[in-house]
Structure 1
Amino acid sequence: MKRYIAVGTLALTVAALAQAQFDTKPAFGTYKKPFAADSLWNSYPVNPVLGTYQIPLTNKPEWDPTIDAGIFAAGVFEAKETDGPMLIYPYPNSKGVMDTDTEIPVPTYTIPHWPATTLPASGGDGHAVIADAKLNRLYSFSNLKKNSEGKWIATRVSWTPLNGSGWGTPSHHYQGGRAAGPAPAGGLIRKDEVNDGKATYDHALSMSLDFTGLSAEPNHYVYPATAADTTIAARPNTGEIPEGALVMLPPTFDTSKITDPKLLKVVRTLMKYGAYVVDRNEDTPFAIYVEIGAPWSAMPRDQLRLIRPALRRVVSHSGHIAGNGRPRVPETNVNLLSMRGVWTKIQGVGPLGFFDTFTQSLQWTAPTTNYDMIQRNFSNGGLGRVMYGAPKAGHRYKFSVESTGGVKMRMWIEVNKVVQKDTKLLANGQSDIIVWPDKGIAYYEALKPVGGAASAKVSLVELPPGQ
């Protein structure tokens, strides 16, 4: 009896230790483990079917693939609540720092909490990532550097929710510094992961391809990418893999020839999770990114060369297993509509409502007086920025309003300047069903009653057949 109790106690102790070890894992949506458990970055495909296209050698066949913390990688820096703010200034002779979501250049961009250790990559992209858990934001920068006056300058600033998907959406289409739309932290091999003793990294990797491997427009990106590198006439894409594609090594890949332990861990990750193509490079068959400052070393060239001819694009799968071990359920009610763009005052006294990227809504922060404030958006920048996220002719959509302060919203759709559909003004909680007309162009109106602060948020979601 005593022996039985001892064994049972031992079993409980082992289980408790195992649970304790599990509990010490970084939580999802944090500095060490960005994005939600069901983010594609943190999920692996089930029964992936691989294509036949082989990533080619480049125009410089002597150039090997790379897996390193090179000048085009990024560092990820943790912002604390005690960190002070920092102003990001524009480059000389530019219109301002581009806010990639609002698509409006601003004289300066304020980062509320700036880690003193922030250091951008030295390559031309100047990537850096700041994780701010307090604000649930992951900031990334393009061409970040200090100027001769000691001020931080950048060409653009992007953000994505730290606990989000890690990819853009049809409404918030550009959420990071990578060409495909995600932040450079997505798929990055992090400092603390390199020597953690695990056989694989617990997430997909991020990869860039040369022009010779990437596919040309209009098939230059696919879900989950929401954008892609622009075409360069002198070096057009000539390959067959779009940005956003997942590439993997087949289960039959011979790992016995990979003796370097760091490379073997990458290989095993490519066999389980794969790597998403997020950017274009020049002359390197493929590059996989490692966080700057990680304990990394050069990969054996002869072993590295074995990977390129074996990599294949995933052309189908049976779903994904999320980072929490559960089947991933893709989101279906995807909002297609953003309220970005220029809003023109039609009537009213007081400041206009403005598009706030962090709430994805119109915000009135000061009182309006005398009579209702009416403002309209004719910019056409809120729909169709993502190829697969544009409304389709003949499909049915639900236009919904969520507002405070009595604000009402309206959308009307024209074809050849003739109104085909007008939702009229809708209040908080109201909606309207739209059958999208062919070649329809949408415009928007907001009506805010006299009074103080108010807000309005709208969505356009495709309805399934029969609903």
Structure 2
Amino acid sequence: MTATGQDGHCEILDLLDGKLHSFYQLRRTAGTWRACKYACTSAQGSGWGTVSNPDNVRAAGCSTAGGLLLASELGLEIVPHALAIGIDKNAFVSGPVWPATLQDYTGASTYKGLTGQRFAMGRLLMLPASFDVDKLGLPESRTIARTLKKYGGYIVDATVGSLNFYAEIGSGWNKIYVNGKYTAAFSPDMQAIKASLRQVIAHSGFVDRDGKPYTPPPFRSTNLLSMRGPWQGYNGSRSFGEYDASTDLFRTEPTGESRTIRQLLTHIVKLIYSGTSNRTGT
């Protein structure tokens, strides 16, 4: 099922090859499915973009499957992963930070939050150890709070006028209405959680999903050359092949003729001089 609203996200997991197919603004019109954006990644990967392949359907450059509260997780004391969080666009400062590779809007002028009260896309938010989970009214709220105390949640999207925790459609995590009746305790629970969330600004290290120490590779040490392109024919040779996002490879079909394609790259060098000498440079 596609998500309602403007974004229309949809995730399809292929159990045969373990690939996750992600769609943005997926709609069925006149019997034909169309999407404004598509990405394919391995379900065994981190879910985040890389330097060479930074793009995906979520604003932060990740899949919308990442961080979802799932139907299968309802009833757990704690969800075994960090949560996906969306905040109002006016609460952002321009420029994504690791592990995000993209952001929702371009240009610093778009983000108009107060200085010192803004967050970068990709920031980790957590509840402090002192947060009293037992004061929350609903078991779903208490599970969300325990998860935020242990794993936290990453800012992955921009909203308008709200702070969101994202859940699988029909999963039962949203308790605003139950069986058509308003649940008075859910909104105060969410307001209490929102008021106590804090940005993580220092840490002693990371652990992987098995609890073992893990050091994320910095962007500067990863592959800066993307096989995405742009590719074009060279010296009269026609273009061929296509980029495969799930493997980060450029795949070509078998051919008996000689073909040449090229990838156009732009390299910017900035020279900065100080002092009063007559040196010049390009």
TM (norm. structure 1) is 0.51
State the partner residue of 1:288.
165
Deviations 1:56-84 (A, max 9, x none): xxxxxxxxxxxxxxxxxxxxxxxxxxxxx
User: Structure 2 CA distance, aligned partners of 1:316 and 1:323?
Assistant: 20
The one-letter amino acid of 2:111's match is P
Match of 1:240 in 2: 118
Q: Deviations over 1:205-235 (max 9, x none)?
A: 00000023221x2xx3100000001148996
Asked if 1:177 corresponds to 2:57, the answer is yes
Q: Distance in 2 between matches of 1:235 and 1:378?
A: 31
Which runs of 5 or more residues in structure 1 are unaligned?
1-118, 381-412, 416-437, 441-467
Question: How do 1:129-208 residues align onto structure 2 when only pairs under 5 Å count?
Answer: 129-147=11-29, 149-174=30-55, 176-195=56-75, 198-208=76-86
Residue 146 of structure 2 corresponds to residue 268 of structure 1: yes
In structure 2, relative to structure 1, the CA distance for the partners of 1:362 and 1:316 (3 Å cut) is: same
Is the strand fraction higher in 1 or 2? 1
Report the secondary structure of 1:247's partner residue. Answer: strand
Query: In 1, Cα distance between the equivalents of 2:10 and 2:53?
Result: 20
Post-superposition shift, 1:300? 2.2
Alignment partner, residue 179 of structure 2: none
CA shift in 2, pair 1:252/1:345, >3 Å = same
Distance (whole Å) between structure 2 residues aligned to residue 241 and residue 337 of structure 1: 29
8 Å Cα contact 1:248/1:314 also seen in 2: yes
| 2:215 matches 1:337 | no
Pair 234,122 (structure 1): closer, same or farther in 2 beyond 3 Å:
farther
The answer for unaligned runs of 5 or more in structure 2 is 177-184, 272-282
Per the alignment, residue 313 of structure 1 pairs with 199
Change (3 A) 1:259 1:163: same
What CA distance in whole angstroms lies between the structure 1 residues aligned with 2:204 and 2:41?
28
The partner residue of 1:209 within 59, 62, 87 is 87
SS of the counterpart of 1:316?
coil
* 1:201–1:269 Cα contact (<8 Å) kept: yes
CA distance in 2, matches of 1:129, 1:364: 27
* Structure 1 residues 374 and 240: CA distance shift in structure 2, 3 A: same
Paired with 1:274 and 1:168, the residues of 2 have a C-alpha distance of 20
Q: Over alpha carbons, which structure has the higher Rg?
A: 1
Q: 1:132 to 1:237 in 2, by over 3 A?
A: farther
Distance 1:186 1:247 in 2: 15
TM-score, normalised via structure 2 length:
0.83
Given that 2:137 and 2:186 are in contact with CA atoms closer than 8 Å, whether structure 1 keeps it comes out as no
Q: Does 1:225 align with 2:100?
A: yes
1:301 to partner: Cα distance:
2.1
